[in-house]
Structure 1
Amino acid sequence: MTDLDATDLRLMAALQRDGRMTNAELADKVHLSASACHRRVQRLEKLGVIGGYVAIVNARNIGLSTTVFVEITLSGQADELLDAFERAVRLIPDVLECHLMAGSADYLLKVVARDTEDFARIHRQHLARLPGVAQMQSSFALRTVRSTTALPI
């Protein structure tokens, strides 16, 4: 981890809340000159601490109202099998997240769909065809209680 001071943390916290603010607005919020603010943000980007900027689209408002968490257990743990699975899952646009797990499942996927029928299509066309899958269990989210992309800085 790189050396981050309190000003760097304030910069990151402010950008997590509003990544569209101007450099002048950001500088004002963290009590820096505009040039010093710009240099610090560039440094954080160059170090990879800030990985990018995105618009967070409301899935429900574009018709993707169903979130499904899929636990996948593979038939083995050989590197070739894990690599093949990970390559294949990266190609499924409906999979928002894929995590290699320690515990009862090998992988946990977060999948979005329009509805249960759409998820059945995703399952049939993509998930069921993933290499090395021995077992799959899907859990449908009934309601999202908390969702954030902001890290606790």
Structure 2
Amino acid sequence: MEKLTEQDRRLLAALQANARISNQELAEKVGMSASACWRRVRALEQAGAIRRYAAILDGPSVGQAFHAVVHVMLARHDHSHVDTFIAEVQRRPEVLDCFAVTGEADYHLRVTCEDLDAYNRFLEGFLFRLPGIANVRTNLVLKTIKQETALPL
């Protein structure tokens, strides 16, 4: 993707704040014609700068009150174990994020569930059964201090 212009940054910031804004409102907000705005947003989508549009839900309000950060260490970095781990984690709806990281763990997962019983089912019925898992450490989220989805532009 080519370098973002200041106008692109304003478009993206406005869309991050409200993805349901109409094209006409967006164009007015960033000082463009509606047709030019529509073309630029489509170009940003096609270039991959805009991956998708989504509604941000409140976990406890929709029955997902349990939230944890899970640190996973693999026994060895055998390609088949790594590939299996990645493929299986991508299929699990409880896993909101999965990051390959440096340090003590190999992966950090952000997991949400209905409650502790549901999390135990996730661990025992899924995570502990994956090949190559050496260690799993769970940190319970006690309170969310800051959780953002918007990138700083």
**TM range, smaller chain:** over 0.9
Quote the residue 2:64 is aligned against: 64
Which is worse superposed, 39-48 or 124-133? Answer: 124-133
Quote the residue 1:9 is aligned against: 9
Residue type of the alignment partner of 1:143: K
Aligned partners of 2:131, 2:89: CA distance in 1, in Å? 9
Quote the residue 1:42 is aligned against: 42
Structure 1 length as normaliser, TM-score? 0.96
SS at match of 1:49: coil
Aligned partners of 2:61, 2:141: CA distance in 1, in Å? 17
Residue type of the alignment partner of 2:43: R
Q: How does 1:71-82 map to 2 (within 5 A)?
A: 71-82=71-82
- CA-atom RMSD in angstroms: 1.0
SS at match of 1:99: strand
Quote the residue 1:136 is aligned against: 136
Deviations 1:32-85 (A, max 9, x none): 110111111011001010111111121110110111111000011122221111
Deviations 1:74-119 (A, max 9, x none): 0111222211111111122211111111111001111101111221
Quote the residue 2:29 is aligned against: 29
Q: Percent identity?
A: 40
SS at match of 1:90: helix
1:11 Cα shift?
A: 0.3
Q: After the TM superposition, which segments of 4 or more aligned residues of structure 1 sit over 2 Å from their partners?
A: none
SS at match of 2:91: coil
Aligned partners of 1:87, 1:75: CA distance in 2, in Å? 17
SS at match of 2:55: coil
Which is worse superposed, 87-96 or 67-76? Answer: 87-96
Structure 1: runs of 5 or more not aligned: none
Quote the residue 2:97 is aligned against: 97
Structure 2 length as normaliser, TM-score? 0.96
Aligned partners of 1:90, 1:121: CA distance in 2, in Å? 17
Cα contact 1:92–1:126 (8 A) shared by 2: no
Aligned partners of 1:116, 1:97: CA distance in 2, in Å? 19
Q: How many pairs are equivalent?
A: 153
Aligned partners of 1:15, 1:88: CA distance in 2, in Å? 32
Aligned partners of 2:89, 2:27: CA distance in 1, in Å? 41
Residue type of the alignment partner of 1:15: L
1:128 Cα shift?
A: 1.1
